[in-house]
Amino acid sequence: MQITLNINGQDKKMDVEPRTLLAHAIRDAGLTGTHIGCDSSSCGVCTVLLDGNIPVKSCTMFAVSAEGHPITTVEGLAGSNLHPIQQAFHDQHGLQCGYCTPGMMLSSVALLERNPNPSEDEIRFALSGNLCRCTGYQNIVKAVQQAAQAMNQPAGAAADD
Amino acid sequence: MAIESPNLEPKGIQGLGKAIKRKEDSRFIVGKGNYLDDINLPGMMHMALVHSPYAHAKINGIDSSEALKVPGVKAVITSKELAGAGLAWVPTLAGDKQMVLADGKVLYQWQEVAAVFADTRQAAADGAAAVQVDYEPLQAVVDPYKATDADAPVLREDIKDKMEGAHGPRRHNNHIWTWDVGSKDETDQALASSEIRVKQHMVYPRSHPAPLEPCGCIGDMSKATGRLTVYMTSQAPHAIRTVLSLVTGIPENNIRVISPDIGGGFGNKVPVYPGYVCAIVGSIVLGVPVKWVETRTENLTTTGFARDFHMDIEIGATKEGKVTAMKVYTLADHGAFDAAADPSKYPAGLFSICTGSYDFPKAYAEVDAVYTNKAPGGVAYRCSFRVTEASYLIERSMDVLAHELKMDPAELRIKNFIQPAQFPYPSALGWTYDSGDYEKTLKVALDKLGYEELRKEQAEKRAKGELMGIGISTFTEIVGAGPSKDFDILGLKMFDGAEIRVHPSGSAIVRAGTRHQGQGHETTWAQIVSEELGLDVDKIIVEEGDTDTAPYGLGTYASRSTPVAGGAMALGARRIREKAKKIAAHLLEVGEADVEWADKKFSVKGVPGKSVTMSQVAFAAYTNLPQGMEPGLETTYYYDPPNLTFPNGAYVCVVDVDKGTGEVKVRRFVAIDDCGTIINPMIVEGQVHGGLTEGFAMAFMQEIAFDAEGNNLSSNFTDYLLPTSLETPKWETGHTVTPSPHHPIGAKGVGESPTVGSPAAFVNAVVDALAHLGVRHLDMPVTREKVWKVLRGAGIDAF
Ligand code: FES
Ligand code: FES
């Protein structure tokens, strides 16, 4: 069936089966930064944002149900500069193999939208749907803290490197 | 407009010891990593596998007719078709052989039975669901201790009554090999005359590496060129090329293996799996590229498991706590095929490191391997070939001994450590340890923790009926396999290659036979070359994983990259520097003997200010050479290490146990590692964090379990539990630095130390918390339920 998904601000027409998962539809549209890591909605590497700030495991949703809901994937995070969360993951060594990283960053962004000053416990709770097998989470927590700080600075004050 | 690739490169000369940010991050943080499933080739078909629901069954027939009616399905193959290509069975890395698709019977639940090829992934899956298989269930062998009972069913009909195996005689149809090391008689004598003897049985349960990216492969046989390109999630692409050539008969020059970005490996991505073989055969038969990406369930149920060592240990000691001897018997459950990824001479891997950090005068270890109706494997899960099992065994046992002696476990360890002056230290089981200062490392850990204070707190709590424990693990690893005189896999010697090409403008490309999966080689190799050649790291690009371009090497696992490929990198760079020195002398118009390499440039001895940089030399290598010199500035270096390296560490864990629920909370965990010279402290710390988290997982939650019929009870992430950010403790890390005397830069490797060393620290801490209740040992995973049962059994009030 024909559907149109709005991904990162662009309308994409696609032909999908009713059972096609959103994760597959996004990847088939060439946006392979959204990964797949399990069959049980457990790992979170497929996380995207729906309607701007709702983190969703895209393997848990049919592509058809996402029609009319703008989707943000990792490819849509950066503007002309990196998003502070991207810079922070790099600065704090918040990634190793990188497979969990897109989902992890999107869950972090959703948290920071809801809660600009999260405590460590709140960060750990918000990311508990995203598994990481490499980092042990500690540097990911630090990255979210760095991003929170950067995002709380008045506009224009953030260093641009 | 979104940015495609940010420039985040660290700049300038950045040598050893610099915590520079990683060069490889740029692509990953913008979603532009290139993992296997991100690759799509024109005309590509998809493959799905049919799996057995039974652990042991005879196959009376396979009917593909319904599957072939599914729209989009193009072909179905079974063992019969593979037999036509001579690929029904393939050799394993351990000298055994393995069915690619079930041949007459299935030997474990989820075993691959047929492969379905279709235009789309969905059609392939639908096709697989439509294949009808007629099974006749047989009695399954699940308990390894029952595998060699006289009346146990024969699992491997293919080798029935062949009593000579790849590693010596077999004494039962389900027995694979027996391996032993050390002197049994001398050890028995030493034990007999020991004042104190303790015995303990312990199980290192079956586990799975479970990287977040599952395994996958694209076979792409070009009819036009006769060349086979294989994209594969492989930690060892070069070895895979050779193996593929041997099993398919395709000349090695016509095979190209590309291992793209890998989303974690941890040993899972070393072996060759049936899915790979089927996708390649599919491409050869169908003439189009064929992709196979496993599901998580396929990953957990069929690809290389780890551990499954059932160990009995006896230790002798004096009354004062000086160890006299150690004797170990281990039963290794290998599943249906011996597909362990071990060096040929070592069917039980490097398990003989089980004397650990202690000066055991006598030791003897024996390992028996058996077949059961479980998935094959025995991969080194974030571990250098059974070192994890060995370290857990000795570190857990030292606490058992301390318990028996009523001695502080730290004191017992200090009493028995190999002393710095004893290095190079010949161990009772035949290894020559390179270096270490175990007591210093432990003291750093105990000080950081505040050990004495915590022991006081523990005593006070115990008096109040509260449960708190402290666990220590002072492990020694053995990594960096290995010296070619002893180490090979399928005959391939375990050296590694590095190629360095310096371009005229002073930039360089560096290639290695290793394949990183998150370890940061794109940064650390550049740092070694930056250190040795004085080139800017941002002008050094590192490439791995393409067998057409990278020099040969056995790959990245068993913490061998830095010890082996890192050595090749340093020595290759030094070879380039020798030539560069000649060019520098020419540029400086002095004799070579007057030129020295200092401060990362060539200078004329005694003439300050008269110098040239490596960039200037590189330009001259292509534009202004001394008469008669071969142009260019590049080399390929193969490094055959003289010995293994012996990273070590002291880990201390503090736990609080809830006496009502049995819940264990890790309050503190201090990890002091000694991995020799550190290339990048940030990356080393990241490796330690990750490894500790996997050790934590092992200690408290991870287990591939089976029921009595051989059904896999841990076939997805809702049953096979990985720690999330919520339960993962905070890690406190630190270092001592005792360089390896034989390694070109003194590095030992670190990626696996935390997985190897930490499980015993966790379990020791829990047992310590419960010791006064008579608990001497608990097997992993130490679940809440297990602890709860202990508490209730001991009559402890919940409130
Ligand atoms: S792929 Fe694992 S949660 Fe979506
Ligand atoms: S960085 Fe590898 S899974 Fe998180």
Indicate if ipTM > 0.95. yes
Q: How much of chain B exceeds pLDDT 70, in percent?
A: 99
**CA distance to partner chain A, nearest, from residue B39 (Å):** 9
B5 pLDDT tier (thresholds 50, 70, 90): low
Task: Output the 3-class SS for B166-220.
Answer: CCEECCCCCEEEEEEEECHHHHHHHHHCCCEEEEEEEEECCECCCCCCCCEEEEE
pLDDT value of residue A160: 44
Closest residue to B264, CB basis, from A99, A105, A123: A99
The position carrying tokens 């072909």 is: B75
pLDDT value of residue B311: 98
Q: Look at residues B145, B130, B149, B146 and name the one whose alpha carbon lies nearest to residue B64.
A: B130
**CA distance to partner chain B, nearest, from residue A15 (Å):** 13
CB-CB contact of B307 with B389 (8 Å): yes
pLDDT at B428 over 60: yes
Nearest CA to ligand 1 atom 3: A41
Buried residues in B169-203 as b, exposed as e (16+ CB within 10 A): ebebbbbbbbbebbbeeebbebbeebebbbebebb
Q: Where are the domains of chain B?
A: 42-140+214-262+269-302, 305-481+643-793, 496-639
**CA distance to partner chain B, nearest, from residue A3 (Å):** 18
Secondary structure tally for chain B: helices H, strands E? 18, 34
Q: What share of chain A is helix, strand, coil (3-state, %, to 5)?
A: 35, 15, 50
pLDDT at B523 over 90: yes
Average pLDDT over residues B333-349: 93
The 10s digit of each residue's pLDDT in B488-513 is 988 889 999 999 999 999 999 999 99
Q: Which atom of ligand 2 is nearest to the CA of B213?
A: 3
Region for residue B520 given its phi and psi (left: phi exceeds 0; alpha: psi -120 to 50; beta: otherwise): left
pLDDT value of residue B1: 46
Residues of B in contact with A34 (CB under 8 A): 31
pLDDT at B461 over 50: yes
CB-CB contact of B515 with B564 (8 Å): no
H helix runs in chain A, sequence order: 22-28, 84-91, 101-114, 120-126, 138-152
- CATH topology for the B496-639 domain: Aldehyde Oxidoreductase; domain 4 (3.30.365)
B4 pLDDT tier (thresholds 50, 70, 90): low
Q: Which ligand is nearest to the CA of A40?
A: 1
- Which residues of chain A fall short of a pLDDT of 50? 158-161
Q: Which two tokens stand for residue B755?
A: 């997985």
Assess whether the region A2-76 and the region A84-152 belong to the same CATH fold: no
A33: nearest CA partner in chain B: B31
Going by CATH, does the domain composed of B305-481+643-793 fall within 3.30.365.10? yes
Q: How far is the CA of A1 from the centre of ligand 1 (A)?
A: 24
Q: Look at residues B464, B297, B311, B333 and name the one whose alpha carbon lies nearest to residue B397.
A: B311
**CA distance to partner chain B, nearest, from residue A128 (Å):** 5
What is the C-alpha separation between B20 and B11, in angstroms, rounded?
A: 9
Q: How far is the CA of B596 from the centre of ligand 2 (A)?
A: 44
Q: Does B3 touch chain A (CB under 8 A)?
A: yes
Q: Does B773 touch chain A (CB under 8 A)?
A: no
Q: Does A32 touch chain B (CB under 8 A)?
A: yes
Inter-chain contacts counted by CB atoms under 8 A, chains A and B: 185
Q: How far is the CA of B630 from the centre of ligand 2 (A)?
A: 45
Asked if A97 lies within 8 A of B122 by C-beta distance, the reply is no
Q: Look at residues B687, B683, B685, B679 and name the one whose alpha carbon lies nearest to residue B745.
A: B679
Q: Does A124 touch chain B (CB under 8 A)?
A: yes
pLDDT value of residue B322: 98
Q: Which of B29, B35, B212 is the best mutation target for the ligand 2 pocket, counting ligand atoms within 8 Å of the beta carbon and taking the most?
A: B212
Superfamily of domain A2-76: Beta-grasp domain (3.10.20.30)
Q: Which ligand is nearest to the CA of A137?
A: 2
Q: Where are the domains of chain A?
A: 2-76, 84-152
B734 pLDDT tier (thresholds 50, 70, 90): very high
Work out the mean pLDDT of chain B and round it to a whole number.
Answer: 96
Average pLDDT over residues B139-149: 98
pLDDT at B475 over 90: yes
pLDDT value of residue A157: 52
H helix runs in B537-667, sequence order: 567-588, 614-623
Q: What CATH code is assigned to B42-140+214-262+269-302? A: 3.90.1170.50
Nearest CA to ligand 2 atom 4: A132
pLDDT value of residue B776: 97
Q: How far is the CA of A37 from the centre of ligand 2 (A)?
A: 11
Assess whether the region B42-140+214-262+269-302 and the region B305-481+643-793 belong to the same CATH fold: no
Average pLDDT over residues B557-562: 87
The pTM (predicted TM-score) of the whole model is 0.97
Going by CATH, does the domain composed of A84-152 fall within 1.10.3720.10? no
Q: Does A118 touch chain B (CB under 8 A)?
A: no
Q: How much of chain B exceeds pLDDT 90, in percent?
A: 94
Q: What is the DSSP string of B590-626?
A: S-GGGEEEETTEEEETT-TT-EE-HHHHHHHHHHSPP
Active site residues of B: 235, 382-383, 752
Q: Does B11 touch chain A (CB under 8 A)?
A: no
pLDDT at B535 over 70: yes
The 10s digit of each residue's pLDDT in B383-423 is 999 999 999 999 999 999 999 999 999 999 999 999 999 99
pLDDT value of residue B675: 97
Suggest the residue from B725, B732, B758 to mutate for an interface test with chain A (most A CBs closer than 10 A). Answer: B725
Asked if A138 lies within 8 A of B730 by C-beta distance, the reply is yes
Which range, of A91-100, B98-107, B214-223, B560-569, averages the lowest pLDDT?
B560-569
pLDDT at B50 over 60: yes
pLDDT value of residue B3: 64
CB-CB contact of A97 with A56 (8 Å): no
A131 lines ligand 2 (CB under 6 A): no
Q: Does B642 touch chain A (CB under 8 A)?
A: no
The 10s digit of each residue's pLDDT in B241-287 is 999 999 899 999 999 999 999 999 999 999 999 999 999 999 999 99
The 10s digit of each residue's pLDDT in B28-39 is 999 999 999 999
pLDDT value of residue B342: 87
